[in-house]
Structure 1
Amino acid sequence: MEKPSVTQRKRLKIRARRMLTRRVLPFVAALFLATPMASPVSKSMAHASDAPTRMPSPDAMRAAFFDQQLHDMYRDLSVEQQGLRYEVFEKAMTGYLNLEKEGKLGDKKLLTVIDFDLPSTEKRLWVLDLASKQVVFHTLVAHGHNSGENMATNFSNENESNMSSLGFYVTQGEYIGKHGRSLKLQGVDEGYNTNALMRSVVMHGADYVSEDFIRQYGRLGRSLGCPALPMDQHAQIIEAVGNGTCLFLNGNDTSYSSKYLDQQVAMNTLLSNNS
């Protein structure tokens, strides 16, 4: 019998930890929600053991509950099998909850995630319905011409850079432009994508976003910075996500930071939503 590789062993350990966490955390979370503060241990109970019994702090319980809820959502959406990594999903959800707390989002419970850490030959856009826990769309998406060839490695907020811009966006209204039906995007991460409207960085369809183009050229075509979509899906996606939904564009840039990645705000918002 073949010995499992180091990678396989690591994956098995991670899965085992997740299974243990999923069994224990619901009880801890329920205890926290039902009992805000643990009552003092009586003297008679204290004598029963030399080691004092310590309850997790409220902050630790909130963090555990938040982590459990996000892992459950990730599992229910079944996006791991589609290539959406948990760490990207976690960032996207954290930003979504922060934007929701600020009142920047509409009533649609949709979250769009684009992962430019993946090559253009892979489907790297997901539209997630957080209410029904379903993947509404999973498809190809192009990056900016100067961001890279098959892989997007360079990002910019500058006008005429022809690069994609990382971070969180809130979708605006649609219009008919030179690319036909298009959707305006308002960047909300200062210094990273706040010039999106001025740069006309929008969602639109493009014939260079297709499996046929990949077969011919080995990669997708590239835009001037827009997240361009397949022609046979762009209208449906624009209609679904328009007017006040969250878009998160992830990429490999260690300098990227966002005030919307405040986990404390996200935890409080999620707890409020579940109360």
Structure 2
Amino acid sequence: MHGRTLILKTLALLSGLGSVGACLATGAPAHEAPPVADAAPTQFVRQAPLADPRVIELALAAVRCAQSSGVGLKAQRLAVIDYSRSSREPRLWVFELATGRLLYQEVVAHGQGSGEDVPTRFSNAGNSHASSLGLFVTGDPYIGHNGYSLRLLGLDPGFNDAALARAIVIHGAAYVDPEAARRRGRLGRSWGCPALRSAVARPIIDVLKSGQFVFSYYPDQQWLTRSAMLKCEAARRLAGRGDARRGDGST
């Protein structure tokens, strides 16, 4: 209940961000089953064989948790980022929630404060230039310093709920260049934003805008054991207590 209260307080603070308020239903009873995220985890796994099935399962569990609190009931898509993988490899997948169909598989940059090729440090603090973990819901796109960008609203108290204040957004960047990464040993890095190749940033932002979900993963024990989005009853029903614990990469 504490996590749900914090989620609703966060959404209340975002009521001035245009149409996102209309996209996020916050008054639905907690016992109602989410109407959109119907595909089984195996459907997502079949579509994205390069992705870790346990990470996909955790992402879906977090989505179910948010929806059980009335957040994101109209969401149609989910982006999953696995920061435990090399920045030189695809580690972002965008799915349709209803069917599990894969829409995009892409490289994505992490923050300078998180590390080199494979990030190891994550933060919710301002000026950390680090990436954040957990479940986000998207706001509306806008034109900013990095061009066409998409606001991310963190739903994981203590882990990513400062994303709006930190200006953590999805945007395109020239430094997200796989060829240059092969020579350098890593992608270029952001100030904490999940930055994309410039060529795909706009279409990915357009499928993720206005009330969709983004889930960022790393086997960080503090987050895995304390995340409100992974501990609620709806999440346990979907992923199971044991599977959620196995998100630390153990076999």
What is the TM-score normalised by the length of structure 1? 0.68
CA change 1:160–1:267 in 2 (3 A) is closer
The residue number in structure 2 matching 1:264 is 233
Counterpart of 2:199 in 1: which secondary structure?
Answer: coil
| Alignment partner of 1:192 out of 140, 159, 164 | 159
Q: Distance in 2 between matches of 1:174 and 1:74?
A: 26
Q: Give the superposition deviation at 1:100.
A: 1.4
Q: Is this contact kept in 2: 1:147–1:164, CA < 8 A?
A: yes
**Which one-letter code corresponds to 1:259 in the other structure?**
A
CA change 1:74–1:134 in 2 (3 A) is closer
The residue number in structure 2 matching 1:73 is 43
Q: Distance in 1 between matches of 2:159 and 2:238?
A: 25
The residue number in structure 2 matching 1:247 is 214
What are the Cα deviations for residues 26-46 of structure 1, in whole angstroms up to 9, with x where unaligned? xxxxxxxxxxxxxxxxxxxxx
The residue number in structure 2 matching 1:118 is 85
- Map 1:17-32 → 2, pairs under 5 A: none
The residue number in structure 1 matching 2:58 is 91
CA change 1:190–1:239 in 2 (3 A) is same
Q: Distance in 2 between matches of 1:167 and 1:259?
A: 9
What are the Cα deviations for residues 9-59 of structure 1, in whole angstroms up to 9, with x where unaligned? xxxxxxxxxxxxxxxxxxxxxxxxxxxxxxxxxxxxxxxxxxxxxxxxxxx
Q: Give the superposition deviation at 1:73.
A: 2.4
> How many residues of Structure 1 are paired with residues of Structure 2 in the alignment?
199
Q: Give the superposition deviation at 1:74.
A: 3.6
The residue number in structure 2 matching 1:102 is 69
Q: Distance in 2 between matches of 1:244 and 1:193?
A: 16
Q: Give the superposition deviation at 1:131.
A: 1.7
**Which one-letter code corresponds to 2:42 in the other structure?**
D
What is the TM-score normalised by the length of structure 2? 0.75
Counterpart of 1:183 in 2: which secondary structure?
Answer: strand
Percent of matched pairs sharing the same residue: 37
The residue number in structure 2 matching 1:238 is 205
Higher CA-based Rg: 1
The residue number in structure 2 matching 1:139 is 106
Gaps of 5+ in 1: 1-68, 271-275
Q: Is this contact kept in 2: 1:185–1:197, CA < 8 A?
A: yes
What are the Cα deviations for residues 93-128 of structure 1, in whole angstroms up to 9, with x where unaligned? 001111112221152321110000001011000001
- Map 1:140-179 → 2, pairs under 5 A: 140-179=107-146
Q: Distance in 2 between matches of 1:185 and 1:132?
A: 24
Higher share in helix: 1
- Map 1:6-17 → 2, pairs under 5 A: none
CA change 1:268–1:216 in 2 (3 A) is closer
Q: Give the superposition deviation at 1:216.
A: 2.9
Q: Is this contact kept in 2: 1:172–1:183, CA < 8 A?
A: yes
Gaps of 5+ in 2: 1-38, 240-251
**Which one-letter code corresponds to 1:78 in the other structure?**
Q
The residue number in structure 2 matching 1:206 is 173
Q: Distance in 2 between matches of 1:269 and 1:150?
A: 32
Name the structure, 1 or 2, with higher relative contact order (CA <8 Å, separation 6+): 2
Q: Is this contact kept in 2: 1:173–1:243, CA < 8 A?
A: yes
Q: Distance in 1 between matches of 2:236 and 2:190?
A: 36
The residue number in structure 2 matching 1:31 is none
Q: Give the superposition deviation at 1:264.
A: 3.0
